[in-house]
Amino acid sequence: MNFSVRSMAIGSVFFALAGYTSLVSAEPLFFDDFEDRVFDQETLGNNWTWYDQWFDGTACEGEAAGGFGPFDDNDGSDYVQGNQNYANAGDDGGLYYRAGLEVPAWDGALSNMLRVYGNQYIDYEGCHRVLIFQETMVEAAGSMMLSFDVAKDRVGAPANGEITGAFIKVLKSSDGSYATLLFDRVETLLQDGVLTDKGYLEFVLGEEHVGELLQFGFYNDVVPALGQSWTTSAILYDNVMVDMAAIGPAHSGSWYNDSQSGHGFSMEFGLTLEGQPQAVVYWYTYDSMGNPIFLVGSGTPVDNMVEVTFSSFVGMIYGDFAPSPPESYIAGTGTFIFSDGDTGTFSYAPSDDSATRWGHTTPVEDLPIVKLFGVPADPVFDMQQ
């Protein structure tokens, strides 16, 4: 199979989140599909860099016992990761395999991809981690998503106990300590019989991360004496993208507050027939006398927020649903802000109609809500159809 090729320019990484909306710009904050590469170029290109770590014990967990990367040898010339693929690895002084370009992957069955190896050549008894990544400064807080395609190597790797994954890390560069402020990861190992898949990692950058160093990319953990070789220790990645964690169909489902079970929301996110992003929200709630009512609203998602104007329709009779246009009352405004595809907050400003008809006089402010269940959907959704 071929992964889809997206025609987006590859440029330097930037994080200017302030004022960005998915409705204004279709460009992600970072994207690389490796389609501008050739198999025998000297480096991976596009500022992909590297770092090696080693840990006590047979798992790469906790604080690293040591590490080595560009500039540690006072030579910045090797900052960009060398292209160590089948074609030219080891030709420039015996560099061991860290990462290479498969151009094209699987001898043409897949498009160009990034091949990330485990370092089986280091003389160390514990777990060793190779990281291949991008880095940039965090310019603003926000909910983010790292997405990518992943494929097994053409010889079926990794095959000998390697652990592969995607990661994001925030390091405290402002004081020169480079202490780890945030580290999130997701494993990318594929099950038997699965050759390709999509992967996602949602993360939140807080105000305390602004001005610090963000790294995102991939890692490969190995332990010596497990029978690895450079032909069987790798996994492949493509269509690497970092963007705002905008609302999409993956947010659709039933939402509620666990401590207020008995009222909640049914939400649907998608596109109108005209191709415009839209949300439809049903709120099942009560009036001030305890009678059940439902309110319905719609709105346009912007980044991780959607504001809806609720309405209530009255006058129809069961079994005779549309004899004439029903009466409609404005039932206030609801605002939903999502931290990710499973959590968020709800706020509600009652209207004059909702105060008069249902006794809704008290606003709701930042009520935590969670998704009770959802529908299968791709977390990364192009709202620019």
For 337, other C-beta atoms within 10 Å of its C-beta total 17
Spatial separation of the C-alpha atoms in residues 32 and 151, rounded to whole Å = 16
Provide the residue count of the chain: 385
221 and 267 inside one domain: no
Q: How many domains does the chain have?
A: 2
The pLDDT profile of the chain, 385 residues, written as one tens digit per residue, is 233 222 222 222 333 322 223 333 457 889 999 999 999 898 999 999 999 999 998 889 988 999 888 877 777 678 899 888 877 765 554 556 789 999 999 989 999 999 998 876 666 678 899 999 999 999 988 888 999 999 998 877 887 788 999 999 999 999 999 999 999 999 999 988 889 999 999 898 999 999 999 999 999 998 876 655 666 778 999 999 998 877 888 889 999 999 999 999 999 998 888 888 899 999 999 999 999 999 999 999 987 899 999 998 877 777 777 666 677 889 999 999 988 888 999 999 999 999 999 999 999 999 999 999 887 777 766 544 4
Question: For tokens 């415009």, what's the residue?
Answer: 276
- Asked if 236 and 258 sit in the same domain, the reply is no
CA dihedral sign, ordered 243, 245, 246, 249: positive
Read off the amino acid at residue 41.
Q
Q: Are residues 195 and 240 in the same domain?
A: yes
314 and 351 share one domain: yes
| The dihedral sign for the CA sequence 368, 199, 33, 60 | positive
Residues with Cβ within 8 Å of residue 15, at least 6 apart in sequence? 29, 136, 137, 138, 139, 140, 214
- The answer as to whether 382 is a domain residue is no
For residues 203 and 184, the answer to whether their CB atoms sit within 8 Å is yes
Verify that 269 and 234 share a domain, yes or no: no
Range of the domain at 56: 30-244
Task: Please tell me the distance from the alpha carbon of residue 78 to that of residue 71, in angstroms, as a whole number.
Answer: 8
Residue 5 belongs to a domain: no
Q: Which two tokens stand for residue 266?
A: 């049914």
* Residue 359 sits in the same domain as residue 263: yes
The CATH code of the domain that includes 183 is 2.60.120
Given 3-state DSSP classes, what are the helix, strand and coil percentages for the chain, each rounded to the nearest 5?
A: 5, 45, 50
This prediction has a pTM of: 0.74
Name the residue among 209, 232, 206 with its Cα closest to residue 220. 232
Q: For residue 10, is it within any domain?
A: no
Is residue 203 one of the residues assigned to a domain?
A: yes
- 295 and 169 in a common domain: no
Do residues 256 and 239 both lie within one domain? no
d(CA 283, CA 354): 13
What is residue 382's three-state secondary structure? coil
List 332's β-bridge partners, or say none. Answer: none
- Are 84 and 227 in the same domain? yes
Claim to verify: residue 230 and residue 297 sit in the same structural domain: no
Cα 343-347-349 angle, rounded to 5 deg: 165
Distance CA(336)–CA(125), nearest Å, equals 50
Cβ(234)–Cβ(353) below 8 Å: no
Tokens representing 186 are 């997701």
